[in-house]
Amino acid sequence: MKRVLWAILLMISYFSYAQQKEVVLIEKKQKKRTVLYVQNNTNTSKSVFLKVNPTGYRRSAQRPIIKKIPPNDTVQMLILIPLSDVESKYTYDLIVNDELETIDVNHNKASRKRDSVF
């Protein structure tokens, strides 16, 4: 009987651990604002792309946010302040990548070609 109970307990703990998501969006509602965080539950850094589509908030959050999230850490991404007397809601797209790709752009003024009339 004890072996059966141990086996059931082991299976429950295994399945609850296996269902934990690697990177999650956390919403903390405060008195006059909503703060969005991204939590990385892995042992490696992750690059996240967050696009929020809000309606009824004071701040326009139409620009996407790209940040690197350290392992086992939580990073604040966005603060939304709702308008008074308006229903506030939002949708979001969260894309997670293993690495942040850097793009080198050379802004050299001498290399630009300008067409001038004079």
Integer CA distances (angstroms), 93 to 7, 64, 73, 81, in order: 39, 9, 20, 19
At residue 111, φ and ψ (nearest 5 deg) are: -80, -15
pLDDT band with cut points at 50, 70 and 90 for residue 75: very high
pLDDT confidence of residue 68: 92
Task: State which of 11-15, 24-28, 81-85, 114-118 shows the largest mean pLDDT.
Answer: 24-28
Residue type, 50: L
At residue 17, φ and ψ (nearest 5 deg) are: -70, -40
Integer CA distances (angstroms), 2 to 6, 10, 12, 48, in order: 6, 12, 15, 45
- pTM for this one? 0.65
Mean pLDDT of 38-62: 86
Q: Which of 8, 12, 41, 7 is nearest to 24 (CA)?
A: 41
Listed by start position, the domains of the chain span 20-101
CATH T-level fold of 20-101: Immunoglobulin-like (2.60.40)
pLDDT digits (tens, 9 = 90+) for 94-108: 989 886 556 566 666
